[in-house]
Structure 1
Amino acid sequence: MVERVITIRGARAGDAEAIAAVHDASWRDAYRGIIPGRELERMVARRGPRWWRTAILRGTRLCVLDFDDTIGGYASYGRNRVPSLPFGGEIFEIYLAPEFQGLGFGKRLFKAARRDLAEHGYMSVLVWALADNDRALAFYERLGGRIVRKAEERFGDEVRGRVAFGFS
């Protein structure tokens, strides 16, 4: 019998390289064909291990999916950055390496982030997704999110729609 240990825990400075690898793979998988190629590569390149290590040491709220000492995903979250929307917390990012997708780990990361936010007084949560990212839209809809705002985001010379989901 093979046993696997799966935990969701706070990120440590030593996780920075693995988080960067998840970020790279998941962003290319999620956004290829949505975000223009040059802009996508610039965005990925800005978030290397050094960036993640600094974020962790700075105290950024960041949890990781630890699968037998392999980081398979992460979530970052904190206070809502859009004060005009009536939500206390915001989940900034949830990403899984492609080989960890479709197995329920995203839902576990989402619940862990919401639980931590609630423990810090943020009972309602906001999450943004690009409007062309069908997988993300379906994911947040399955979790019970309702669309509360639509906006646009610029990527180089191109503009893409984005959608905010609210969770009460």
Structure 2
Amino acid sequence: MSVDVAHVRPARPKDANALANTYEEAWRGAYQGIIPHLHLERMIARHGPRWWDQVLQRRASVLVLDFGGEVAGYVTFGRSRIGRGPFAGEIFELYLHPTYQGLGLGSKLFNGARQKLREMRLNGLLVWALADNETACDFYLRLGGKPIAEGLERFDETGLRKIAFAWR
């Protein structure tokens, strides 16, 4: 009998603290030296346990990667923010706590969100990633994402290039 130590499940209110910790650690690891320091610190401070508790109370689409009872990562998703077109679904965030990165677990979260989007009849998928976040860009390319658009994310005077990856 095989035991799945890592599985994807809907986030629960009791996950708020773990989500805040995962957010902080993943964002520091991914964006330190990319997003201007003060902006990064403000973003992390705003996404604490209380913020996550409110998100979960609103029943937002959040899945967590449960690894042996611990929240190892999360993905948020829903209707695409670009409106009409062949990409009705969007993954807004997909992050793993640094301890769990590089083990192939991110694809479990990605596939879990993709399945939920299909169930919501949101076919076609977009994900935006900062171009300087090479780890994320490589991850989405490995999963078969095709770069289809670019944009600019502004942090006061700093503009960071972002790339949209798409799956049909």
TM-score with structure 1 length normalisation? Answer: 0.96
Q: 1:141 to 1:48 in 2, by over 3 A?
A: same
**Larger deviation, residues 15-24 vs 153-162:** 153-162
The alignment yields a C-alpha RMSD, in angstroms, of 1.1
Match of 1:5 in 2: 5
Unaligned ranges ≥5, structure 1: none
1:85 CA drift (Å): 4.6
1:59 CA drift (Å): 1.1
Q: 1:4 to 1:165 in 2, by over 3 A?
A: closer
1:84 CA drift (Å): 5.1
Match of 1:77 in 2: 77
1:86 CA drift (Å): 2.9
1:4 CA drift (Å): 6.7
1:7 CA drift (Å): 1.6
8 Å CA contact 1:149, 1:165 repeated in 2: yes
User: 1-side partners of 2:41 and 2:157: how far apart?
Assistant: 15
Q: Secondary structure at the match of 1:102?
A: coil
1:50 CA drift (Å): 0.6
- Which ranges of 4 or more aligned residues in structure 1 deviate by more than 4 Å? none
TM-score with structure 2 length normalisation? Answer: 0.96
8 Å CA contact 2:147, 2:165 repeated in 1: yes
* Structure 1 residue 147 corresponds to structure 2 residue 147: yes
Match of 2:23 in 1: 23
Q: Secondary structure at the match of 1:81?
A: coil
User: 2-side partners of 1:70 and 1:100: how far apart?
Assistant: 11
The one-letter amino acid of 1:34's match is: I
Per-residue CA deviation, residues 69-94 of structure 1 (Å, 9 max, x unaligned), is: 11000000000011155311000000
8 Å CA contact 1:39, 1:156 repeated in 2: no
User: 1-side partners of 2:99 and 2:124: how far apart?
Assistant: 30
The one-letter amino acid of 1:148's match is: I
User: 1-side partners of 2:123 and 2:153: how far apart?
Assistant: 27
Match of 1:90 in 2: 90
Q: Percent identity?
A: 47
1:86-165 matches, within 5 Å, as 86-165=86-165
